[in-house]
């Protein structure tokens, strides 16, 4: 067997490093029963390496691609390609390729001879048939002679002529077919030469269209030339940029080349075994047109589109097919007009469409995942020329069955849409086992709720407050009668008796509202602090498997504490008061979002204090110029040790350490226990402290708090006075006064349960990392952070046995990298269909971006698009534009004049804190970080819920 060339039939998917993605896929395809792949062979990556190892110019140019520089990247890529194309192919490689060409052509010639023999046999059969006709004619003539009358003679003569004509026509047709076959066999063999990169057509990165394919190539010299051109296409500018974006090292990329018999299609196109528009895995989408498929893969020419579901054609869209691409003499591709009679006809008949769908499902079943397939019909047969996984589909939960499900994103509710690591996923599932995982995110299955009339009512009321775009998407699912019939039935997620909704809850809400006592909040927070101290003491006394068993068991106690009827009743008492005030004041006074203004500077808001107390830290640091300079480049390693050596550094370090003692368990994406906390990465606070020093003067914390408190007090007085002057005003004013008191007494507690959970998680994380350190010391782990890629029960097993499955850990690491690139949908079904909601734009200014009003007021300013907290560089008056804001973003709120977030609802944490600071905010602005440019002037209308682009 040659190291440089392999037959496609000898290749399988495990040989990807040797043959590249395309060849590996074609080799696998050729093994599927009844799937026809054009014959050919692969020039392996060993051939590419043999050429490159002696190409000194290539190796020196490769170094210029690091680091990436857009100014010269095009020039460097062109020079690299030229060096590859001009590099001499070693004789051993050249000989192997030419030998395989000869073997391939010999096989094709043999196949043609068999076909010719068959044609000649058919010709011989036609001659015999003609002889039989002559015999028949003679017999017929004899019989006619015995008959009397010219009519019979005429009838017999016509019959003879017809039989004679048919027989000779059949004989001539067979002869013509044989002659055509002989003529084709005398022409040069024609090939398609295709790039097959090692990072191509992979489950996670398709690289589709990044490398070159050459069609209609004839002759050994031309084939060799185009093989070199395929090698060179590894360094097209688009391929280099794609690798850089995916974090793939250029030196690790290699190129094989597929050389196949050229197929000349009558009809060709693309087939997706999942609808690319909706992601529905039950629908096959087919694009088809006349001639060669490259025109349709690239979108150069319009194609018919067909939809098929379960063996039935469900949709057709016919395109006017005026032109098509065909192979021409001399290896060229030419565009020709389509005959007028065929332009508006279906490119495929219905039988061919259904055959394609059946073939696509067979290929999908073989690979175990939806496929993007290139195909063609030639000489009446279906040929598959490529199949790759569809990498743009969001994964489905593993827990699938034949019944229908509707999944809503838990991350959109928790303001954390990033991918979570396995340990973080499993911790949340310990608290709420009904949560399912897909693509490194958690989802809630609403199937049981939507299958119930009561559940549908609760969902409609609750879901709009969670995320504004979820509600219309879920409502759209409810309107599909056929789909609703498929829903699985069982215990509802939103039902009395669950962790969130107990039978005692409504009674507690009523009792707490009537009592209206701020001491209730102080008592609940004290109970939480006592619980955490008890856990810390007990956890520190344990180690090994005993510690993990304790953590698993204690989770139930934590859940009981976190979701107690008294605690949840207090949250709901504040939230219901806010809703009542906003609704009644709009009705009675014609003013929106009054309750949001009244929520400013309330007591016991742990998240609100995050930003204010960091202003106090800035006051200490601003007095130490050396500390200010140090913070501009400080890293996490020896963060405090380095600071304490500076003039005034001891005081600044003490202030930061005191802040971290209270809030060090917070971080961006904090619901994932594996995320680095501020206590672990204190340098994350540096840009926020520096921003506070730049944008505020001394004593800003008290000034900001007092300003917001006075606004709330003035609004209270204004509202009550205005109400008292209305009809029945005294009663309305009295009722409003009570609700305002309830609101200010309880609404701050809304943030404590999350604060409590993050403290609990921080204690658990520290305990688990101590166990990880022991595993590292024993040699069972390489790094302490490797435990993040194990689920809790797997970590429990590793601690108990003193060994870890590194194959599993490394696979999970790769999966997490893939998951990080995915965009989670708000709502999807068990069929994979992504359901999208839309806003009604009727009342918005032209061009405005719709969202949901979460904190009232209007702000104009410079947009600062910030995706990572540590990258924030804000100035006073800026408007923060980001994907989501969890409590860790709160310190930035004191510096900005407005907030725009892609994710969120009226009661999510970022919205609550925005109201606390009196910050105009709009959430649920889909695509905000892409549609708004960094530095662009915008206007945020937090009262009516939209964003205007002013430049």
Whole-angstrom Cα Rg for the chain: 36
Strands 283-290 and 267-272 turn out to be: antiparallel
List the structure tokens of 6.
Answer: 């392999």
Q: Looking at 104, 383, 412, 909, which residue is catalytic?
A: 909
Between CA 95 and CA 98, with CA 96 as vertex, the angle to 5 degrees is: 65
827-829, strands of its sheet edge to edge: 436-438, 441-445, 406-409, 827-829, 834-835
Give every CB contact of residue 148 below 8 A, 6+ residues apart in sequence: none
CB 357 within 8 A of CB 275: no
**Is 555 annotated as catalytic?**
no
Determine how many CB atoms are found less than 10 A away from the CB of residue 76: 18
List the structure tokens of 831.
Answer: 């069929």
List the structure tokens of 676.
Answer: 């680095």
User: For residue 494, how many C-alpha atoms fall within 13 Å in the half-sphere facing its CB?
Assistant: 19
Q: Residue 395 carries which DSSP code?
A: P
Helix, strand, or coil (residue 674): coil
CA 944/CA 951 separation, integer angstroms = 21
CB 466 within 8 A of CB 413: yes
Phi, psi values for residue 756, rounded to 5° = -60, -45
Between CA 124 and CA 129, with CA 126 as vertex, the angle to 5 degrees is: 115
Helices (H) then strands (E): counts for the chain: 34, 26
Alpha helix ranges (H) inside 696-805: 700-724, 729-746, 752-778, 792-801
Q: 389 - beta bridge partners?
A: 371
Q: 307 - beta bridge partners?
A: 285, 315
Give every CB contact of residue 208 below 8 A, 6+ residues apart in sequence: 201, 372, 388
CA 863/CA 950 separation, integer angstroms = 10
Distances (CA, A) of 140 to 157, 170, 395, 508: 9, 22, 74, 107
Tell me which residues are annotated as active site: 909
């Amino acid at each position: 067997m040659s190291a440089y060339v392999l037959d496609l039939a000898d290749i399988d998917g495990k040989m990807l490093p040797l043959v590249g993605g395309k060849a590996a896929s074609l080799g696998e395809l050729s093994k599927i029963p009844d799937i026809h792949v054009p014959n050919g062979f692969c020039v392996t990556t060993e051939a590419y390496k043999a050429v490159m190892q002696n190409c000194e110019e290539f190796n020196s140019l490769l170094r210029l691609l690091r680091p990436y520089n857009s100014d010269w990247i095009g020039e460097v890529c062109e020079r690299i390609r030229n060096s590859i194309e001009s590099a001499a192919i070693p004789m051993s490689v050249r000989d192997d390729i030419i030998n395989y060409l000869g073997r391939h052509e010999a096989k094709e010639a043999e196949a043609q001879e068999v076909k010719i023999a068959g044609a000649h046999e058919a010709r011989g059969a036609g001659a015999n048939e003609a002889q039989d006709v002559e015999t028949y004619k003679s017999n017929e003539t004899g019989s006619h002679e015995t008959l009397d009358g010219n009519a019979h003679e005429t009838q017999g003569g016509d019959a003879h002529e017809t039989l004679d004509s048919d027989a000779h026509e059949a004989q001539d047709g067979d002869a013509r077919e044989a002659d055509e076959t002989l003529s084709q066999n005398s022409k040069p063999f024609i090939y398609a030469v295709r790039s097959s990169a090692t990072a191509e057509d992979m489950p996670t990165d398709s690289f589709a269209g990044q490398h070159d394919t050459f069609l209609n190539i004839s002759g050994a010299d031309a084939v060799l030339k185009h093989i070199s051109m395929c090698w060179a296409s590894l360094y097209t500018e688009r391929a280099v940029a794609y690798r850089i974006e995916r974090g793939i090292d250029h030196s690790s990329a290699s190129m094989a080349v597929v050389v196949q018999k050229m197929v000349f299609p009558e009809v060709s196109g693309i087939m997706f075994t999942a609808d690319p528009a909706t992601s529905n895995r039950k629908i096959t989408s087919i694009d088809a047109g006349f001639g060669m498929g490259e025109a349709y893969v690239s979108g150069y020419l319009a194609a018919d589109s067909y939809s098929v579901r379960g063996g039935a054609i469900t949709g057709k869209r016919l395109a006017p097919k005026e032109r098509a691409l065909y192979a021409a003499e001399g290896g060229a591709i030419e565009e020709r007009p389509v005959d007028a009679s065929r332009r508006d006809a279906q490119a495929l008949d219905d039988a061919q469409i259904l055959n394609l769908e059946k073939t696509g499902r067979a290929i999908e079943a073989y690979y175990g995942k939806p496929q993007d397939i290139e195909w063609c019909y030639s000489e009446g047969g279906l040929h598959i020329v490529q199949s790759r996984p569809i990498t743009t589909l969001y994964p489905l939960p593993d827990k699938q069955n034949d019944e229908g499900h509707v999944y809503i994103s838990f991350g959109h509710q928790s303001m954390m849409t990033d991918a979570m690591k396995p340990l973080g996923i499993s911790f949340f599932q310990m608290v709420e086992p009904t949560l399912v995982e897909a693509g490194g995110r958690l989802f809630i299955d609403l199937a049981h709720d939507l299958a119930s009339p009561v559940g549908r009512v609760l969902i409609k009321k609750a879901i709009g407050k969670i995320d504004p775009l979820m509600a219309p998407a879920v409502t759209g699912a409810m309107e599909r009668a056929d789909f609703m019939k498929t829903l699985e039935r069982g215990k509802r997620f939103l039902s009395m008796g669950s962790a969130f909704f107990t039978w005692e809850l409504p009674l507690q809400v009523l009792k707490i509202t009537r009592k209206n006592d701020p001491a209730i909040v102080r008592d609940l927070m004290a109970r939480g602090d006592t619980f955490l101290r008890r856990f810390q003491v007990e956890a520190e006394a344990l180690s090994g498997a005993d510690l993990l068993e304790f953590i698993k068991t204690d989770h139930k106690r934590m859940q009981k504490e976190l979701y107690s009827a008294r605690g949840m009743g207090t949250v709901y008492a504040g939230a219901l008061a806010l809703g009542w005030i906003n609704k009644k004041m709009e009705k009675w006074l014609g003013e929106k979002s009054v309750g949001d203004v009244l929520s400013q500077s309330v007591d016991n808001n742990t998240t609100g204090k995050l930003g204010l107390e960091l202003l106090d830290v800035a006051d200490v640091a601003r007095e130490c110029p050396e500390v200010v300079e140090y913070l501009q480049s400080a890293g996490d390693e020896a963060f405090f040790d380095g600071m304490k050596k500076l003039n005034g550094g001891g005081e600044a370090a003490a202030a930061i350490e005191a802040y971290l003692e209270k809030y060090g368990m917070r971080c961006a994406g904090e619901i994932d226990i594996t995320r680095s906390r501020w206590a672990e990465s204190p340098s994350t606070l540096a840009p926020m402290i520096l921003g506070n020093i730049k944008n505020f003067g001394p004593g800003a914390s008290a000034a900001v708090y007092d300003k917001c408190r006075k606004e709330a007090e003035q609004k209270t007085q204004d509202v009550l006075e205005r109400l008292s002057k209305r009809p029945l005003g005294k009663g309305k004013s009295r009722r409003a006064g009570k609700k305002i008191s309830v609101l200010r007494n309880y609404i701050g507690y809304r943030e404590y349960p999350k604060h409590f959970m993050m403290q609990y998680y921080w204690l658990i994380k520290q305990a688990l990392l101590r166990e990880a350190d022991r595993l590292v010391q024993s040699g069972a782990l390489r790094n302490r952070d490797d435990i993040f890629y194990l689920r809790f029960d797997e970590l429990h097993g590793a601690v108990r046995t003193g060994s870890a499955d590194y194959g599993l850990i490394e696979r999970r690491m790769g999966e997490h990298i893939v998951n990080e690139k995915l965009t989670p949908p708000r709502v999807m079904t068990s069929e994979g269909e992504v359901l999208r909601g839309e806003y009604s734009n009727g009342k918005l200014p032209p061009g405005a971006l719709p969202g949901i009003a979460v904190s009232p007021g209007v702000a104009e300013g410079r947009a600062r698009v910030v995706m990572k907290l540590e990258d924030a560089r804000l100035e006073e008056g800026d408007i923060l534009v980001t994907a989501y804001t969890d409590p860790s973003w709160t310190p930035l709120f004191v510096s900005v004049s407005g907030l725009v977030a892609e994710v969120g609802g009226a009661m999510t944490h970022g919205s609550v804190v925005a109201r606390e600071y009196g910050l105009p905010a709009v959430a649920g602005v889909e695509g905000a970080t892409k549609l708004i440019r960094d530095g662009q002037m915008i206007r945020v209308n937090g009262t009516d819920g939209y964003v205007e682009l002013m430049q």
